[in-house]
A and B are shown apart, each in its own frame.
Chain A
Amino acid sequence: MSAAPEPSPAASPAEPVHVSRNYLNASYTVRSWLLTVDHKRIAILYLLGVTLFFFLGGAAAVLFRLELMTPQADLVESETYNKLFTLHGIIMIFFFLVPAIPAVLGNFLVPIMIGARDLAFPKLNLMSWYLFMIGGVFTLWVTVAGGVDTGWTFYTPYSSTYSNTYVMATAVGIFITGFSSILTGLNFVVTVHKMRAPGMTWFRLPLFIWSHYATSLIMILGTPVLAITILLVALERGLGIGIFDPKLGGDPILFQHLFWFYSHPAVYIMVLPAMGVQSELVAAFSKNRVFGYRFVAYASIAIAVLGFLVWGHHMFVSGQSLFAGMVFSILSFLIAIPSAIKVFNWTATLHRGTVAFDTPLLYAIGFIGLFTIGGLTGLFLATMAVDVHVHDTYFVVAHFHYIMVGGTVMAYLGGIHYWWPKITGRLYPEGWARFSAVLVFVGFNLTFFPQFLLGYLGMPRRYHVYDAGFQVLNVMSSAGASILGVAYLFPMCYLLWSLKYGRSAPANPWGAVGLEWTTPSPPPTYNFVETPIVTWEAYEYPGSNPAEVAD
């Protein structure tokens, strides 16, 4: 067949419709933005919010990476250093990684991808943004007022009794933000169940939707546990009710159980949507159906379920019994299987596809590489005997950055580049974008790979001063971080530039299938002129591999 993709059944019907009014130019007042119930405008509001927090969390990282250039304390005091890594963790996790893909890309795309006019509860959607921002304001206030030094993990009794920093205000911020997460999850679940266009059956849904559906289940079931845990810490800290501090008759390990019961599934809240983006990118840039579509869909659900059963692997050296540890260890090994299925299926999707090396694909390929390393090093941590040595060292830091930054941030940036023409109606300079994608990959590896070596050498995490023998690797890591920092600023610059100077985007600049590419760029307020009737399978590219056969 010819290399140029023919118009697919999905792309053809609505293509010629030209609508000059779209969600962006429908109204220009501030009020029309702050009181909007349009899921696309709310996505833009979230985009502004998470971008602000990303650069704030990044600034904290710049400061402590600078401090770690030398073994001794020179740039900041220990107290400040502890506040910096705490702030970095709290902001990046609760205010960037958890909301980034679902609340920005998910908000924008979930209704469009299923052929709906909006989410099921548009006002609830707006409320979730306000909750997010109110929680964020608490965190910003804490930052300005003097910070918090408990680490993002808030281990008791340090957080509940001993720390003299702004634990309560931070806890309130996270507590409130948690509800924005719950509302988003609720909205997605109801929308996917009730608002799919005619003909859009479950197995015609893009995998982006499947992964957001799985994520939403975790958000709804897991986040309340975080809220309860925070409330209990506040009760102990504020009222002296003994729950976690043994001096008050409490149990510090109970906190860890409760905390990780949310926070391990939260890892999947952060990474499942990234997997959804990844599936879209790989399919669109190899013009092929995602290999083993149903298995990838089921794998998302399997990860969501198994994710709730592995929290104890954070507590192998915490005084948990050996046998409980063994059970958590084997369950943690099992969760590697659905993740591995996804990696193999993305790779296999390239097979006999038509691969275009546009910026989103570069991010997608980077994702496969970094996520693979992140996943494999997860096996080290699931192996108790090895975890005893590397637990709470830089090995763990490197591992979760490979998943969170190498996985989620790569996918987020890939997704932003892929859907930018749809969201803004503008094209960005491709050369700069490809250069930045490569720079992110290089900077990332230079930053975090040395940390695996540091970890096995025994450098504990959260160390302000360290032994001289660790300096070479730390300097490498800091050098990488400076490259990474610059590489993150580039997209910020050229994407902003494109808003004014970028060429106008056609409805379907990539020749991709999927309902979002059948509507103009940017889409009209109600997404579709007419509700689409779906008669085709997901990723039905001309000549793409047929749906798998059961045998």
Chain B
Amino acid sequence: MNTEFQLFPDAASTTARPVDQLYLSLVAFSAAMSIFVAALVIYLAIKYRRNNDVDRTQRPTHASTEITWMLLSLPVLVFIFIWGAKVCFFLLRSPDGAMPITVVPKQWMWKFQHANGRREIDTLHIPVGQPVRLTMVSQDVIHSFFVPAFRIKRDVLPGRYTDVWFEATEPGQYRLYCAEYCGTNHSRMVGKIVAMTPGDFAAWLSGASGDDEPPQVAGEKLFEQLQCASCHRAGGDAPARGPSLEQIYQRPQPLASGETVVADDAYLRESILRPAAKVVAGYQPIMPTYEGQISEEGVIQLLAYIKSLGSVEPAPPAAAGTPTGEATVPQGAGRLEDQR
């Protein structure tokens, strides 16, 4: 937890090792280059100092010397780039079946919610040996989720979902920092990650209090409370005023404009907050905006409910390992992010 003097950070995730290998290789390369340049400068400066009697006959410089340097440096740079890109793909693309957790920070605290509804502030409990994916959106300004021991960082934006994943390897407590400057108490917007053995974690998770409803349950209540069903009702004979939300998640939607959009998290979110932006073909732009009327947590709950109505994606294998079931897994948030 960074209370003792260290020269190298703890490594406690599956991503730490490849990042460290890359980093240390770069350190070795840079040290070698720096020493080479420094030694050369010192050697030449001393050898050709003003009063030293040495041969100073000049020979013409050839353009090929310069071009050789350039051509030699190119493969080195390309090698580092490819290595870095490889690690990066591993680092940024979350594996399927990762345990979903939502993160909604605001000035200056971290709020977490597990899939079974259990909430936490500034402390996040996770199991080791299990990939975890955080879906994050900020309530106010930009924050950044940074856990040095896991070598991961991702900005948390207002108005847009970002995600980050990690798999802890060692039980223990690790520092969480906000890395993007967010105002007066930015440096106090710290928390901790408590990595536990899967058994301990399951026990901890079941200790949810009665108020902690799973997001899709809370979302269903919100759905009723906001009377969404009066337009988006399922089934029925009379034509509905809004598209049915049954199995809408991840389904391509033809728009009034003639385009097609996949009903992912970003689209569903936009359609709740700014419904007129992309209206589904065959419907009138009559839905009122909910901008400013639903908190970010409320939107996440509504999305969880909509997802629980089914998706067109093949269901992940029987929710094994996740205590929540497939329906609430915010599938694809990360990958769709990548396609922008």
Residues of A at the B interface (CB closer than 8 Å) are 1, 3, 78-79, 82, 149-151, 153, 155, 157-158, 161-163, 245-247, 249, 251-253, 286, 288, 291-292, 294-295, 317-319, 321-323, 325-326, 329-330, 333-334, 336-337, 340-341, 343-345, 347, 350-357, 361, 365, 368-369, 372-373, 376-377, 379-380, 382-386, 388-389, 391-393, 453, 456-458, 460-472, 543-551
Contacts and interface: CB of A to CB of B under 8 A. Distances in A.
A347 B178 CA distance: 42
Interface stretch (B149-157, B212-220, B229-237): B149-157
B144 A317 contact: yes
Nearest to B291: A247
A318 B23 CA distance: 21
B41 A337 contact: no
A391 B22 contact: no
A385 B177 contact: no
B315 interface: no
Nearest to A333: B77
Given A3-B50, A384-B88, A162 B141 contact: yes
Given A252-B157, A321-B338, A472-B5, 16 more contacts: A79-B184, A82-B186, A291-B61, A319-B337, A333-B80, A350-B48, A365-B45, A369-B38, A385-B85, A385-B88, A386-B26, A389-B153, A458-B149, A462-B186, A463-B177, A463-B186
Nearest to A153: B181
B172 interface: no
Interface in B45-98: 45, 48-51, 54-66, 69-70, 73-74, 77-78, 80-81, 83-85, 87-89, 91-93
A376 B44 contact: no
B183 to A, nearest CB: 6
B79 to A, nearest CB: 10
B191 interface: no
Interface residues of B, number: 96
A158 B3 contact: no
Interface of B: 1-9, 18-19, 22-23, 26, 29-30, 33-34, 37-38, 40-41, 44-45, 48-51, 54-66, 69-70, 73-74, 77-78, 80-81, 83-85, 87-89, 91-93, 107, 140-142, 144, 146, 148-149, 151-155, 157-160, 162, 175, 177-188, 274, 291-292, 337-340
A270 to B, nearest CB: 22
B34 A543 contact: no
Contacts of A245: 158
B51 A3 contact: yes
Given A466-B187, A546-B60, A376 B30 contact: yes
A529 to B, nearest CB: 32
Contacts of A386: 19, 22-23, 26, 84
Contacts of A162: 107, 140-141, 183
A246 B56 contact: no
B37 to A, nearest CB: 5
Contacts of B23: 380, 386, 389, 456
A548 B58 CA distance: 11
A158 B92 contact: no
A354 to B, nearest CB: 6
Contacts of B62: 548-549, 551
A344 B1 CA distance: 43
Given A162-B140, A453-B7, A391 B157 contact: no
24 contacts: A158-B183, A246-B160, A288-B58, A319-B154, A347-B40, A353-B44, A354-B48, A376-B34, A379-B77, A380-B23, A383-B83, A384-B85, A385-B22, A386-B19, A386-B22, A386-B84, A388-B92, A388-B153, A389-B151, A460-B146, A462-B186, A469-B2, A469-B5, A551-B64
Given A252-B142, A355-B48, A369-B38, A551 B63 contact: yes
Q: Which 5 A-B pairs have the closest CB atoms?
A: A246-B159, A458-B148, A383-B84, A385-B87, A467-B2
A344 B69 contact: yes
Contacts of A336: 73, 77
A549 B60 contact: yes
Contacts of A545: 58-61
A384 B84 contact: yes
A433 B135 CA distance: 57
Contact of B153 (A380, A392, A470): A392
A391 B60 contact: no
A319 B155 contact: yes
B61 A469 contact: no
A385 B152 CA distance: 9
A235 to B, nearest CB: 19
Contact of A321 (B41, B160, B340): B340
Contact of A391 (B51, B59, B153): B153
B30 A379 contact: yes
B220 to A, nearest CB: 26
B91 A546 contact: no
B157 to A, nearest CB: 6
A383 B66 contact: no
A336 B88 CA distance: 21
Contacts of A547: 60-61
Contacts of A463: 177, 186-187
Nearest to A377: B30
Given A319-B337, A337-B70, A341-B70, A379 B38 contact: no
Residue of A79, A368, A373, A389 with highest tally of chain B CB at under 10 A: A389
Given A322-B93, A326-B85, A337 B73 contact: yes
Contacts of A352: 48, 54-58
Contact of A392 (B2, B80, B179): B179
Contacts of A373: 30, 34
B33 A388 contact: no
Contacts of B8: 456-457
Contacts of A329: 81, 84-85
A460 B177 contact: yes
B165 to A, nearest CB: 12
Contacts of A153: 181
A233 B25 CA distance: 42
B158 A157 contact: yes
Nearest to B177: A460
- Of listed B23, B38, B155, residue having the most chain A CB within 10 A: B155
Contacts of A149: 183-184
A329 B85 CA distance: 9
A294 B60 CA distance: 13
A272 to B, nearest CB: 19
Nearest to B340: A321
B261 to A, nearest CB: 17
Contacts of A325: 88
Nearest to A287: B50
Nearest to A286: B48
Contacts of B153: 317, 388-389, 391-392
Contacts of A161: 141
